[in-house]
Structure 1
């Protein structure tokens, strides 16, 4: 889920979080998603605060 906050500097920033497990039977997280996170197939872990690339869905309502 992509969201906007003001961070520690007071400047707007975007944050993204995974919606939990990505198993095929977990469609609720996909239905609520407003973006996808692009992660290489060989990456097993991404630390909190890491910069990532996202694809934002056109219906996402971020200012």
Structure 2
């Protein structure tokens, strides 16, 4: 599934979650180095440290 998605628009934020970066509304750091992602729909997701650098590269910085 992940291989079929545009890597400039979709990023894995957790081992079971892939998001469209255009739908990210907010991001907040958590105490353990993870990030809380709030989607435009209001859904809250946790991004683990393992996937942080890929998203940071796509967004420039956050």
Q: Same fold (TM over 0.5)?
A: no
Structure holding more strand per residue: 2
- Which structure has more relative contact order (CA 8 Å, sep 6+)? It is 1
Structure holding more helix per residue: 2
Q: Max radius of gyration: which structure? A: 1
